[in-house]
Amino acid sequence: MSEVKVAEKKSALFGKNEKKLLIDPLNDNNPITVQVLGICSALAVTTLMNKALVMSIAVIFVLAASNVLTSLLRNSIPKQVRMIVQLVIIATLVTVVELALKALDYNTFKELSVFIGLIITNCIIMGRLEAFAMANSPWRAFLDGIGNGLGYGIILLLVAFIRELFGKGTVFGFGIIGPDAGYLINTSESWLFGWYANNNLMVLFPSAMFVIGVLIWIHRGIVNKSLVDVS
Amino acid sequence: MHSTNYIIRFVLVMTAIVAVILSLMSTGLKPIHDKNEAVYNKTAILSAIASHLGKDLKTLSDEEIGAIFSEKVTQKVLNMDGKVIDEATMMEMGYKDGLAESVDMGKEMKKPEEDRVLPLFIYESDKGNEFYILNVRGKGLWDEIWGCVALEDDMNTIAGVAFDHKAETPGLGAEIKDSQAFKEQFVGKKIYRPDGEYKSIYVRKGGAKDPVHEVDGISGATITADGVTEMMQRGIAYYEPYFDKINK
């Protein structure tokens, strides 16, 4: 109920509260490392930076747009069918993203295959609609959507960076470390890195679980100790 | 509390709006989707002879790929007896434009063997060499695998291959697509023994023993590699009747 009251208070267009909506999901309330939502796609699309970037942009768009739409309709949506209405809004936007991506970048569309469609089942989106957009103004819902989308995207890109670098020796397809001249560090010639080989585990899905686990540990143990309840 | 009447009206209106938006978008973007898909398929076919194109396939624009296809590639559709089916007959059989590129190998594989049709692409390089690009399809570990095999004009020596897959394990089975080294092994291999017996290519676990007909397998991907062997054995053999006809 407290959230509703905050929303009703007249506030500046971009005041302290609005800023908090945008910044909070990046750290204190990160959807992946703190709320542990949206893990499915974080495992599946983080083998390459390129995939993770497209996925993040898609989720940011769907989350912000569905938050705004739900917020605009929040007083006319019948309470009894609100979940269904939210799901229809999400599914529509995801289909729009899928059709647009198929027209804009067919190769990435092929690579992401079913995972674009699976944004519908991403708990972050449904969670934000139900918990935030149903009780807040469109502008605040928009900021909340962007914030949570960014929080999701940052972790996705971080995991993809680690997995692509150690799994394939590249970042965004650009060679960093590998056994021929196309790479920045050429392991077949360098005296220092001659022992280096790509870690095949990093390409497989379980590695994302390990990487996310370690990220959560670093996040709570070093970056933001206030997250740990010491009582 | 909203009345039941209101809820029904709300849901109906919402459904109608969503249906209109999505169907408009889907129909509006259809031509672009079809064009993208065609370019994607053409790129896959040309990637089997990437080293003979004289250009880097990755840097070519959609238009350039279309141009290569219309100027230098002859498309033929064969039946299982090795006879060429002409475009008009193909259209009667229900294929969109009667060309080899509209043949979906995935659908063909579901038909009884004798009813299948086979796409064949003949690419003529700038130097005047002809390459025969065949489509093959089989089963990997998890799902389907498929590929394009380019033969030189002796219809025996492999000029290049390109594989793709639906769901092979990344880093293991998926290497048939991702690993350049795996695909390069096929170049120069022969599908016939010197005495003319059909042998195809064998992906051998633990390393190739026969330098003419075998390539090294991928560690950790034995079943996918066996799938490639089976696909090459059976898939290339489908084209044999046609080769026999033109070699005579």
Reported as a single tens digit per residue, the pLDDT across B121-159 is 999 888 888 899 999 999 999 899 999 999 998 888 999
Question: Where on the phi/psi map is residue A196: left (φ > 0), alpha (ψ -120 to 50), or beta?
Answer: beta
**pLDDT value of residue A12:** 67
**Total residue length of chain A:** 231
Mutate to test the interface with A, among B13, B24, B36, B146 (most CBs of A within 10 A): B36
Burial of B119 (C-beta count, 10 Å sphere; 0-12/13-18/19+): buried
Judged by a CB distance cut-off of 8 A, whether residue B171 touches chain A is: yes
Contact (CB<8Å) B10/A88:
no
**pLDDT value of residue A211:** 94
Q: Does the structure show a pLDDT above 90 at A150?
A: yes
Contact (CB<8Å) B25/A96:
yes
Residue of A nearest to B173 (CA): A204
Judged by a CB distance cut-off of 8 A, whether residue B26 touches chain A is: yes
Judged by a CB distance cut-off of 8 A, whether residue A15 touches chain B is: no
Judged by a CB distance cut-off of 8 A, whether residue B169 touches chain A is: yes
Mutate to test the interface with B, among A81, A105, A163 (most CBs of B within 10 A): A81
**Percent of chain A whose pLDDT exceeds 70:** 94
The 10s digit of each residue's pLDDT in B11-60 is 999 999 999 999 999 999 999 998 998 888 888 888 888 888 877 777 88
Average pLDDT for chain A = 87
State pTM to two decimals. 0.81
Q: Would you place residue B248 in the very low, low, confident or very high pLDDT band (cuts 50, 70, 90)?
A: low
Tell me the residue type at B210.
D
Judged by a CB distance cut-off of 8 A, whether residue A188 touches chain B is: no
Assess contact for B47 and B57: CB atoms under 8 A.
Answer: yes
Average pLDDT for chain B = 88
Mean pLDDT of B230-245: 90
Judged by a CB distance cut-off of 8 A, whether residue B37 touches chain A is: yes
Q: Which of A92, A167, A203 sits opposite B21 (nearest CB)?
A: A92
d(CA B1, CA B12) in angstroms, rounded, equals 19
A-B contacts at Cβ under 8 angstroms: 56
Chain A hits for B2, Cβ within 8 Å: 78-80
Place of tokens 């965004």: A172
Mean pLDDT of B189-203: 88
Mean pLDDT of B239-244: 88
The 10s digit of each residue's pLDDT in A212-229 is 999 999 998 888 888 777
Q: Which DSSP string do the residues of B162-204 spell out, in sequence order?
A: EEEESSPPTTTTTHHHH-HHHHHTTTT-BSB-TTS-B---EEE
d(CA A38, CA A148) in angstroms, rounded, equals 11
Contact (CB<8Å) A204/B169:
yes
Mean pLDDT of B209-214: 88
Residue of B nearest to A48 (CA): B170
**Percent of chain B whose pLDDT exceeds 70:** 99
**pLDDT value of residue A231:** 66
Q: Would you place residue A1 in the very low, low, confident or very high pLDDT band (cuts 50, 70, 90)?
A: very low
Q: Would you place residue A194 in the very low, low, confident or very high pLDDT band (cuts 50, 70, 90)?
A: confident
d(CA A73, CA A94) in angstroms, rounded, equals 19
**pLDDT value of residue A188:** 78
Q: How many CB atoms lie within 10 A of CB A4?
A: 10
Q: Which element (helix H / strand E) includes A174?
A: strand A174-175
Place of tokens 């590929």: B147
Torsion angles phi and psi, residue A220, rounded to 5 = -80, -35
Judged by a CB distance cut-off of 8 A, whether residue A107 touches chain B is: yes
Q: Which of A78, A167, A203 sits opposite B7 (nearest CB)?
A: A78
Q: Does the structure show a pLDDT above 50 at B113?
A: yes
Judged by a CB distance cut-off of 8 A, whether residue B80 touches chain A is: no
Q: Would you place residue B179 in the very low, low, confident or very high pLDDT band (cuts 50, 70, 90)?
A: confident
Chain B hits for A99, Cβ within 8 Å: 22, 25-26, 29, 33
Q: Would you place residue B244 in the very low, low, confident or very high pLDDT band (cuts 50, 70, 90)?
A: confident
**pLDDT value of residue A10:** 54
Q: Does the structure show a pLDDT above 90 at A199?
A: no
Tell me the residue type at A166.
F
**pLDDT value of residue B109:** 86
Listed by start position, the domains of chain B span 36-246
**pLDDT value of residue A157:** 94
**Percent of chain B whose pLDDT exceeds 90:** 36
Q: Which of A47, A81, A103 sits opposite B36 (nearest CB)?
A: A103
Mutate to test the interface with A, among B4, B5, B6, B7 (most CBs of A within 10 A): B7
